[in-house]
Structure 1
């Protein structure tokens, strides 16, 4: 394929040309291709056929074989005009093959409103070296259409409103130069659609309202130039879709309102430029869309209003570049951004998500979960391994934080503890101290459960040691004071403990040889209980006036009560000071 020429020269000679299949042409078209310095790059010869001879083949409903031919100023509009046919009438062509051919026109290579009645059509290896190309409103036969290895020197190529058959449609390895590539409202049939390694050049590319049907679609390693790439309202079927290693350059990439069908969509290792990327309102009925090691530029990335309720959207190892990223009001079954760099504002206010995976991410800006004008419904969130340099805007109650983390079955107790620790530090950093306490409590609870679980897994004999330790921590640190986050809880626990000790000091003298020397055993139970409460108070708070002292076994109870009283007072002081100082 000759694509790097600067100019060319065509000379029609009176010499016969014999094609590879034995066809004989009276004249030969000799074409020289030159570079900018007028140095000849290549010399090619083709069979020359006059356009009027092609028109006669159409008139006679004969097959048209233009393989290895040079065709000048071919235009079906001129054909209609010469035959007094209305300009938009369909021209029926029995069959058409133009492989390894050269098309040249001063204005337009016009195949518009043609109907190819054969099964297959091929322009493989053909060069459109001058003039725009118009295949609009064409019917390309019943099966395959081959435009592979084509070269469109004028990038203004129009296929809008055309229909393809049930076979493969391929533009593999074709090259479009600068201009508008228009595939609006094309119906590609049920076959495989191939744009592998296609170079679209600069200029807008439009697949608006294009119907790709149920065949597999591949834009693998395709390269788009600077310009808008628009697939607005395009429809895909059940086939897989690949944009793997596709380069989108700096224009806007528009996938708004695209119906992606039910296949697998692959954007792995694709490269997006600095333009906006929008998937707003797109739908995927069943399947997954993956962006593995994809590169994004500086434009806004919009995934708002997605309808992926039964489908997964997976980003892995992505650096989203500059520009905000939004999933606002989207419905996604699984949204994974595992191991991604979240360097800008991310809007995770999803209207439905069964699982949001933010594990091993690096957050340098704001990630936003706070509901605004609709309820944010995320069933499970995974923050394991997150490095939080920025902040998380989230509400413990409105976002049901405890449930989203604690009910996720495949994360370990240690991982859950780590996630609550991350949220604890986040809430503390933004001044949400009450919510910081809630996250800290869950962090300590899961940390203790993890320590117990890990000890038992290493050696079951550890149960004799670790269960009592766990029980003590559970009672003293959690139930008594919520890990020093609730002065009121500590105070309540102190009062209850004091009351329990008072009851013990009252009851024991009835069942044991023990007493309190300032209390008369002959008084009523109520009187003894009230006096015991006084004794219990000066013992619990270590006041010790000296007017009362225990005798017998109660001395051991009093020793324990004094220690416990000091402990509870210290516990309350810590919890109270923690609240006040913040």
Structure 2
């Protein structure tokens, strides 16, 4: 079929034409096709169908076969007027077929208000040379409805309020000219519906309020031109919906308040232009929508108030342009954005999400999780392999951040540690230093546990020293000072250690043959206590005036205290300086 012509010329010749099915016609329509330079680029001959003969065929009630015919100003409305039928009476056509037919009109080719019944309806490879075309309020009740490789001319193509009832409806490789394609309020009731590789040309494409009560639906590799693509308020059945590799053109794409039901929705490798893409308030039940390697162009991408509930939204390796992305007040079972470049603001303030996966992403702008008008209820948040060049706005307490990572079942200790390290760096960058400390503590805890576990896996014998070493690190670095993030905790631990050694110095002479040189055996209890605490203090601080010295077993205690004193004071100095300098 010739599709890229700019003009045409039709000549009716008085010579017979025999169709492939052996049907004879007295005249032939010779059609020449020309390009922009007015050079002939194609030629086609068809049987010329005279209007009087066409009206007789319609009136006969027999199957209407117009294969390979040329028809001028084709209109069922004209037939109804000429036959003086009542305006409210519908024409019924059985087994309509116009394969390889050519339609030409100055205004509009009119199929409206007709009941098409029988086994088939076919416009396969039909060519509309000029003018608009309308199927307004047509009722199809056929087994097969075939628009395969049909080519419509520039102008409005009107399918509004059409009712399709069929086993199979095929618009594969159909070509629409420039102009509005209007499918408002259409009802598709069929097992399979296919717009695969359809070319919708430039102009708005309107599927507003369409009922897709169909099984599987294909828009795979369909092409939309310049103009708005609108599926607003449409509902889909329980079958799968496939938009794989579809090119949505450069206009706005609107899926607002669409009910996708329980079928799988596939937008893999689809390409959107620079217009906004909206899935606001859409619904998907117990299924998943996949947008893997999808290019969303430079417009805003909106999933606000989407209700996916127990369904998944998978955006792995998707390409986000310069527009903002928003999931505000939406709900998902799983939201996956694996291996994406997040170069602009993304609003992750979802209403509910069981699992949010941001693994292997590169973040160059702001990811916003901070609750404002509503709670952000995320059960698990995965940041494994994230390269954070931007910022994450998230609240440690309001977002329950520790549990979001700690409860992950598909990550090991090292991966959890790395996620807390990423958060620590983020909080330091944005100036949330208290959150930075909390993230740092969790990072060190998981890192220490990971090192301990790896050491045990390499050698079971190492357990002899790994357990004591792990216990020492946990007690000293974690419990005593929270890895130098809490000066008050370190100072409290310092006082407890000093008190422990003081009491040890006080009670040891009661059980062992040991003493402190500056305390006589007949000294009072109060004097003994004051002097012992004084002696312990100068030992703990390593001042060592020399007026008191240990005798016997207390020499060992003094040596140990002389080590712990400077260590705890240094620990406090580090924690205090870290807090103040930051």
Range into which the TM-score falls when normalised by the shorter chain: over 0.9
Match for residue 531 of structure 2?
531
1:522-544 Cα shifts (integer Å, max 9, x gaps):
34556533432222112112222
Match for residue 252 of structure 1?
252
Match for residue 432 of structure 1?
432
Q: TM-score, normalised by structure 2?
A: 0.98
| Deviating more after overlay: 103-112 vs 6-15 | 6-15
CA distance in 1, matches of 2:88, 2:395: 62
Match for residue 76 of structure 1?
76
Match for residue 476 of structure 1?
476
Match for residue 309 of structure 1?
309
Asked if 2 retains the 8 angstrom alpha-carbon contact of 1:369 and 1:394, the reply is yes
1:413-434 Cα shifts (integer Å, max 9, x gaps):
1111111111111111111111
Quote how far apart the aligned CAs of 1:88 are: 5.2
Q: TM-score, normalised by structure 1?
A: 0.98
Match for residue 166 of structure 2?
166
CA distance in 1, matches of 2:72, 2:166: 31
CA distance in 1, matches of 2:224, 2:435: 49
Asked if 1 retains the 8 angstrom alpha-carbon contact of 2:140 and 2:166, the reply is no
1:461-500 Cα shifts (integer Å, max 9, x gaps):
2222322221111011000101110010001101111111
SS in 2 for 1:142: strand
CA distance in 1, matches of 2:83, 2:47: 26
CA distance in 2, matches of 1:9, 1:319: 47
CA distance in 1, matches of 2:197, 2:177: 14
Asked if 1 retains the 8 angstrom alpha-carbon contact of 2:167 and 2:192, the reply is yes
Quote how far apart the aligned CAs of 1:220 are: 0.9
Asked if 2 retains the 8 angstrom alpha-carbon contact of 1:234 and 1:258, the reply is yes
| Deviating more after overlay: 462-471 vs 444-453 | 462-471
Asked if 2 retains the 8 angstrom alpha-carbon contact of 1:521 and 1:528, the reply is no
Quote how far apart the aligned CAs of 1:23 are: 1.1
Quote how far apart the aligned CAs of 1:13 are: 1.9
Quote how far apart the aligned CAs of 1:571 are: 0.6
Match for residue 328 of structure 2?
328
Asked if 1 retains the 8 angstrom alpha-carbon contact of 2:145 and 2:166, the reply is no
1:416 matched to 2:400? The reply is no
1:351 matched to 2:351? The reply is yes
SS in 1 for 2:448: helix
Match for residue 361 of structure 2?
361
CA distance in 1, matches of 2:575, 2:204: 65
Quote how far apart the aligned CAs of 1:311 are: 0.5
CA distance in 1, matches of 2:544, 2:379: 56
| Deviating more after overlay: 48-57 vs 10-19 | 48-57
| Unaligned segments of structure 1, at least 5 residues | none
Quote how far apart the aligned CAs of 1:57 are: 2.4
SS in 2 for 1:485: coil
| Deviating more after overlay: 512-521 vs 554-563 | 512-521
Distance 1:214 1:504, change over 3 A: farther
CA distance in 2, matches of 1:459, 1:97: 80
Match for residue 510 of structure 1?
510
Distance 1:152 1:214, change over 3 A: closer
| Deviating more after overlay: 284-293 vs 359-368 | 284-293
CA distance in 1, matches of 2:88, 2:492: 89
Quote how far apart the aligned CAs of 1:87 are: 4.0
Quote how far apart the aligned CAs of 1:56 are: 2.4
1:19-98 equivalences under 5 Å are 19-87=19-87, 89-98=89-98
1:443-466 Cα shifts (integer Å, max 9, x gaps):
100000111111122222222232
CA distance in 2, matches of 1:362, 1:87: 64
CA distance in 2, matches of 1:166, 1:443: 61
User: In the comparison of the two structures, how many residue pairs are matched?
Assistant: 582
CA distance in 2, matches of 1:174, 1:88: 32
1:44-193 equivalences under 5 Å are 44-87=44-87, 89-193=89-193
